[in-house]
Chain A
Amino acid sequence: MPVYICNSKPNAVSVEASAKIAKDVTRIHCAVTGAPTSFVHVFFVEDADTYPRYDKGVLLMGSIRSGRTQEQKNQLATEMAQSIHDHTGVPVAEIAVVTQDTPASWVMEGGEIFPEPGEEAAWLAQQEAKHAAVDKDQ
Chain B
Amino acid sequence: MTSCSCIVQEGQINSDIKRCLTNRLEDFAQQSFQSGLDISWTVIPQGRGFTAGKPSTASVVALTAPEPLDQDTRTSLLKELCDLWISEAKCSVDEVVGVIADPRA
Contact = CB atoms under 8 A, between A and B. Distances in A.
Interface residues of B, number: 32
Interface string A16-46: 0011001100110000000001111111110
B56 A41 contact: yes
Contact of B45 (A44, A50, A63, A106): A44
Interface in B9-24: none
A107 B101 CA distance: 8
B50 A111 contact: no
Which applies to chain A's interface (DSSP): helix, strand, loop or mixed?
mixed
A98 interface: no
Given A45-B42, A107-B98, A40 B52 contact: yes
Interface residues of A, number: 32
A121 interface: no
A26 B97 contact: no
